[in-house]
Amino acid sequence: MVTATFRFYEELNDFLARERRGHEFSCTCARAATAKHMIEALGVPHTEVELVLVNGESAGFGALLSDGDRVAVFPKFEALDVTPLLRVREHALRVTRFVADAHLGGLAHLLRMTGFDTLYDNHFRDEEIERIAVAQGRIVLTRDRELLKRRGITHGCYVHALRSAEQLREIFDRLDLARGARPFTLCLNCNTPLHGIDKALVTSTLPPAVRERYQRFSVCDVCRRVFWEGSHWQRMRVMVDGLLAE
C-alpha cells in the first residue's frame, strides 16, 4: 500500500474537502497511481495545476507515486519566477481562444465583445467540448470540475464567479488577457469578424433615430446584423475600458 503526503496551495484549496485545506495531509493512493490521478481523485482538475513537486523536485502529471512521497501542487504563478522548474504542460497555446460550456453563455458573449474567439452552444455536450478543445486548441471555460478532468483537455479554467461581468474580470485577471483584447471586432452572435460598411448600404435597414444620429457602422457577414455605437455599445465600452486600465 502506498501512502503519500499532499499540500495544495492558494486557490487550489477551494476544490478540496474543508478539512484538507491549507495544510499537509496524508492519503492512501491506488496501486500505480500517478500524480495526475491522485490530484484529480482529491477533487482538483488537472487544468488548474501549473506545477507539481514530488519530494521537492519538479514532476509531470505522469509521475508514479511511491510510499512516503511528499507532493506539493501549485496553481498558476503570477509573481514568482518558476522558469527553471518543469511546468506540467509542454507548451502554451499559440492563440488564445475559448470554448464555453452551456452555463456560461453570458461570459461567452462578453469575451466576444472584447475580441476573443469564443465558441458557445447551450447544446454542447461534454464530449463535444473536449473534441473541440483538442481539435482547435481552445481553452475550456466551465463551472463543472468533472469536465476539466477529461483526459483530452489540456488547457481550461474553472470559473468561480457567478455573474457574467465578474466572470469576465476573473478570466481577464487569471489569463492576463488585457494585452490581447480587440474590443468590438467580433459579432456577438456568430463569433465571426466584423467589418466596417458604408452607411448608404445599410440605411434602409436602420431605425429612423439611428439613421439620424450615427455615421459609423459594422456588419457581420454571417447573420448580416448591423452594429453601431449606441447606448448599449457605450455601456460595454465603459466595462471594457475598466478591464483594460487595470
pLDDT at 237: 79
Do 106 and 167 lie in one domain? The reply is yes
pLDDT at 243: 77
Q: Is residue 80 part of a domain?
A: no
Q: Is residue 34 part of a domain?
A: yes
pLDDT at 81: 47
Q: Is residue 188 part of a domain?
A: no
Contacts of 177 (CB under 8 A, 6+ apart): 96, 114, 116, 171
Do 109 and 162 lie in one domain? The reply is yes
Report yes or no: 80 and 116 within 8 Å, Cβ to Cβ: no
Instruction: List Cβ<8 Å contacts ≥24 apart for 230-233.
Output: 233/184
- Alpha-carbon distance of 31 to 66, in angstroms, equals 9
Which backbone phi and psi does 195 adopt, to 5 degrees? -140, 150
pLDDT at 56: 87
pLDDT at 77: 59
Residue finishing a domain among 180, 211, 228 = 180
In this structure, which amino acid lies at residue 239? Answer: M
Q: Is residue 212 part of a domain?
A: yes
Residue 193 in grid coordinates: 469578424
pLDDT at 33: 93
Do 154 and 199 lie in one domain? The reply is no
Do 70 and 112 lie in one domain? The reply is no
Contacts of 46 (CB under 8 A, 6+ apart): 36, 39, 40, 61, 88, 148, 149
Which backbone phi and psi does 6 adopt, to 5 degrees? -120, 150
pLDDT at 38: 96
Count of domains observed in the chain: 3
Do 70 and 6 lie in one domain? The reply is yes
Q: Cell 509573481 identifies what position?
A: 79
pLDDT at 104: 96
Indicate the DSSP class of residue 65.
Answer: P
pTM of this structure: 0.77
pLDDT at 87: 59
- Alpha-carbon distance of 183 to 21, in angstroms, equals 39
Do 69 and 127 lie in one domain? The reply is no
Q: Cell 465603459 identifies what position?
A: 238
CATH number for the domain that contains residue 13 = 3.10.20.30
Distances (CA, A) of 235 to 101, 208, 239, 240: 26, 22, 7, 9
Do 109 and 159 lie in one domain? The reply is yes
Q: Which parts of the chain sit beneath pLDDT 50?
A: 78-83
Q: Is residue 239 part of a domain?
A: yes
Neighbour count for residue 87 (Cβ, 10 Å): 17
Do 198 and 161 lie in one domain? The reply is no
Q: Is residue 87 part of a domain?
A: no
pLDDT at 238: 83
- Region of 184 please: left (phi>0), alpha (psi -120 to 50) or beta: left
Domain range enclosing 212: 194-245
Residue finishing a domain among 146, 180, 214 = 180
pLDDT at 101: 95
Alpha carbon 215 to its chain's center? 36
Do 175 and 215 lie in one domain? The reply is no
